[in-house]
A and B are shown apart, each in its own frame.
Chain A
Amino acid sequence: MRKLFPVLLAAVAIQAQAADLNVTVEVPRLDVAEYHKPYVSTWIEREDGSVVTTLSVWYDTKMKNDEGQKWLKDMRQWWRKVGREGNAPLDAVSGATRGPGSYTLNFSAGKAPLGKLDAGNYKLVVEAAREVGGREVVSVPFQWPASKAGTLSASGKTELGSVSLELAP
């Protein structure tokens, strides 16, 4: 009995620290003649609109000389709030654009790019801009730390489908 106790305590301790935040973004299938995969940025901002961190940026990473970065500014809110500051290295959070489908990104508290999130009210924001298409921003408010496990979601109307946030305390 004495040997079991420390093991049990250790297991509970690990679970409390490994708080997770999983983001699922749906890129909608659109019926257009000329379709380009959208540029999509995902970030967390505080109640006052200031940005905590960028979680992900999908843009055309394959163009030579980083030409694809020209259109990062089309994600207007992200660009103005954090993108143009050029502080955090883009490489760490960027990836290629994705076509229609649902994509889940996993983040852990204490680990980059989420880092340490102080207790408080936040918004997960996703912004999509599509060449010869439109632009849309979807945000999901949430509290941190999550009191219990659960999923919060919101939906775009045009350039984004469902955006959901799964929180594991």
Chain B
Amino acid sequence: MNHLKLAGLALTLLLPLTAEAHRSWLLPTSTVIAKPGAWVSFDAAVSNDIFYTDHRPLPAGQFQVATPDGSAATLENISEGKLRTTFDLALNQEGTYRVFSASNGLTARWEENGQRKSWPPRGVTPTPEAFAKEVPKQADKLTITQSSRRVETFVTVGKPNTAVLKPTKVGLELVPITHPNDLVTGETARFSFLIDGKPAEGVKLEIVPDGQRYRDSQDMINAVTDKKGEVSIAWPKAGRYWLEASYEDDKAPKPATKRSGLYVATLEVLPQ
């Protein structure tokens, strides 16, 4: 039995933030629980098809949990396998839990002698010192990006609450107008997106329903946030959905010239 206690926001960037050919996600065994005392298990993986563990696991160390009353909680029985990472969470309170991975940092791309270079190198935890040392001050096609990445899901015990849904104001994040554990077919959900705490206009959403293996089309829902950073989603059927949102602009703190955000959530839509 592995216990891993996680505290605080990890500011390490874990994956390069180009358009990901593969999809990251967290998948809970349930999102609606009647009363405290239950357990929920999670799969964390990178895959092609939603929600099939057909590629590789997401490293376990990046995951944290926010509880309804803000107290600490432990992800238990952590196992990093060949295709997925799994862990369990004991739900001992009423309210909404948020399980997530969040990171924010600098990435850089440039060319040297026609060769494409990128930083940080894969698998290396970036530091500001390493950035100063390894990224040239001048280079061909040098682009430095302030990148944020968040992968998360939500579980509610009893009556939903919004304590864990308060914005962090860092990076690209979803601030629910409709509670994420209150999604049903026939009811349009409304979400808003913030980038570093401000409404994010033009966030591109790609939403793919579960069960991809057994159909010919992605059945993807595309949407874009409006001036207020808001977007409405109508669910064609009940089931789990993978939602990925991406954003980019040039309002970045120096030395970055670009700011980008990647956000992924797993949402469960129940039938009426």
Q: With A and B bound together, what is the CA distance between A65 and B35 in angstroms?
A: 11
Q: With A and B bound together, what is the CA distance between A127 and B94 in angstroms?
A: 24
Main SS of the interface on chain B? loop
Q: With A and B bound together, what is the CA distance between A72 and B37 in angstroms?
A: 14
Interchain CB contact under 8 A, A70 and B34? yes
Known: A73-B33, A76-B271. A84 touches B160 (CB 8 A): yes
A118 at the interface (CB under 8 A from B): no
Which residues, 64 to 90 on A, are CB-close (under 8 Å) to B?
Answer: 65-66, 69-73, 76-77, 79-80, 84-86
Q: With A and B bound together, what is the CA distance between A66 and B158 in angstroms?
A: 14
Interchain CB contact under 8 A, B270 and A66? no
Interface residues as binary, B244-272 with A (CB distance below 8 Å gives 1, 0 otherwise): 00000000000000000000000000111
B177 at the interface (CB under 8 A from A): no
Q: With A and B bound together, what is the CA distance between A73 and B184 in angstroms?
A: 14
Interchain CB contact under 8 A, A72 and B271? no
Which residues, 42 to 66 on A, are CB-close (under 8 Å) to B?
Answer: 65-66
| B32 cross-chain contacts in A, Cβ below 8 A | 73, 79
Known: A80-B182, A84-B158, A85-B159. A71 touches B34 (CB 8 A): yes
Interface residues as binary, B196-207 with A (CB distance below 8 Å gives 1, 0 otherwise): 000000000000
| A76 cross-chain contacts in B, Cβ below 8 A | 270-272
| B38 cross-chain contacts in A, Cβ below 8 A | 70
The chain B residue sitting closest to A85, CB to CB, is B159
The contact size tier of chain A is: 10 to 19
A129 to chain B minimum Cβ distance, whole angstroms, is 12
The contact size tier of chain B is: 10 to 19
A interface residues with partner B (beta carbon < 8 Å): 65-66, 69-73, 76-77, 79-80, 84-86
Which of the listed residues B34, B94, B160 has the most CB atoms from chain A within 10 Å of its own CB? B34
| B35 cross-chain contacts in A, Cβ below 8 A | 66, 69-70, 72
| B270 cross-chain contacts in A, Cβ below 8 A | 76, 80
| A84 cross-chain contacts in B, Cβ below 8 A | 34, 158-160
Q: With A and B bound together, what is the CA distance between A76 and B185 in angstroms?
A: 12
The chain A residue sitting closest to B272, CB to CB, is A77
Interchain CB contact under 8 A, A69 and B182? no
Which residues, 30 to 63 on B, are CB-close (under 8 Å) to A?
Answer: 32-35, 37-38
**Extra A-B contacts (4), CB below 8 Å, given A66-B35, A79-B34, A80-B182:** A70-B35, A72-B35, A79-B32, A85-B159
Q: With A and B bound together, what is the CA distance between A9 and B56 in angstroms?
A: 82
A68 to chain B minimum Cβ distance, whole angstroms, is 10
Q: With A and B bound together, what is the CA distance between A86 and B184 in angstroms?
A: 20
B7 to chain A minimum Cβ distance, whole angstroms, is 30
Interchain CB contact under 8 A, B184 and A69? no
A145 to chain B minimum Cβ distance, whole angstroms, is 30
| A79 cross-chain contacts in B, Cβ below 8 A | 32, 34
Interchain CB contact under 8 A, A73 and B34? yes
Going nearest first, the 6 A-B pairs with the smallest beta carbon separation are A73-B34, A72-B34, A84-B159, A70-B34, A69-B35, A84-B158
| A66 cross-chain contacts in B, Cβ below 8 A | 35
Interface residues as binary, B123-154 with A (CB distance below 8 Å gives 1, 0 otherwise): 00000000000000000000000000000000
Which residues, 216 to 234 on B, are CB-close (under 8 Å) to A?
Answer: none
Which residues, 78 to 117 on B, are CB-close (under 8 Å) to A?
Answer: 94
Q: With A and B bound together, what is the CA distance between A73 and B160 in angstroms?
A: 13
Q: With A and B bound together, what is the CA distance between A116 and B270 in angstroms?
A: 33
Q: With A and B bound together, what is the CA distance between A73 and B272 in angstroms?
A: 13
